[in-house]
Structure 1
Amino acid sequence: MSVSLYYSARRAAPLTEVESSAIEGVVAAHSSSFPYADEEGLYLYELPDDGSAERVDGSTKMPSDFDRLMPVVTHVLHSVTELRRVLPDAEWSVHMDDIDIPWDEAEGYDLSRLSDEAENQ
């Protein structure tokens, strides 16, 4: 059984050249520092290059090796946190299959808050 992390941002206005460049910079920086060459890292879907892109969409398949799972999840969530900070005015959705990953303005996306939320329910 495979598990994936999905991330997307939506807004009414198209991405500016500055935003697109910043997104490319985040992707490049995090790709070069990804811990495992044989695992899937931050992956953004190809979107139309016609200036009308109003979104960012991507996903990452999680490793089946438990020892690699947390380093990959942590790295990708840190990457998505940086992407969200490039597009703070977008509506973001980040989830691992059917589990929403909470956002914290100071800390970004982090799985440790899932257990906090479960305890508070």
Structure 2
Amino acid sequence: MGMAMYFSATRERPLEVGEIAEIDRGLEAIAEKGKEPYSIDDDGAREPGTIFSRWLQLPKTAAAWDAIHRWSVLLTHIRRHVPDAEWLVTVDDHEIVWDEQLRAFDPSR
């Protein structure tokens, strides 16, 4: 079995229309970038307060790192549009760190 990337954001209030539009725009852009051999699913069983929750199966090839990087860039974009949420991004059991100085997820750390 290959690696998987998990990401979620929580906060007290639901997403606003503009935030949903940014998430949709980002997901559409990453889907258009290539024909990556991975799948993405909505986490149907959401906890109260979860506003965004997804996981994706990463390729079982060297392309996994490219996918992690590409999704980290996308999640950085989304987080900047939903700044007041608590985020968790992991690849298997390794947390992808949010760099406050760069205001970006940094998968290299």
Q: Shorter-chain TM-score category? A: 0.7 to 0.9
- 1:63-118 per-residue CA deviation (whole Å, 9 max, x = no partner) reads 1112x1221111111111111112110000001111111111315112212xxxxx
Aligned ranges 1:54-73 → 2 under 5 Å:
54-66=50-62, 68-73=63-68
Q: Give the corresponding residue for 1:39.
A: 37
Runs of 4+ in 1 over 4 A off after TM superposition: none
- Counterpart CA distance in 1 for 2:93 and 2:43 is 23
With normalisation by structure 1, the TM-score equals: 0.76
- Counterpart CA distance in 1 for 2:22 and 2:36 is 26
Q: Give the corresponding residue for 2:75.
A: 80
- 1:9-44 per-residue CA deviation (whole Å, 9 max, x = no partner) reads 00000111111111111111121114xx15126x35
Once superposed, what is the RMSD of the aligned Cα atoms? 2.3
Query: Which structure 1 segments of 5+ residues have no match?
Result: 114-121
**Of the two, which has the highest radius of gyration?**
1
Greater per-residue helix proportion: 1
Given the alignment, which residue of 60, 71, 91 partners 2:86?
91
- Aligned-pair identity (%): 28
Number of matched residues?
A: 106
With normalisation by structure 2, the TM-score equals: 0.83
Q: Secondary structure at the match of 2:76?
A: helix
- Alignment check: 8 A CA contact 2:2 2:60 kept: yes
- Counterpart CA distance in 2 for 1:26 and 1:62 is 18
Greater per-residue strand proportion: 2
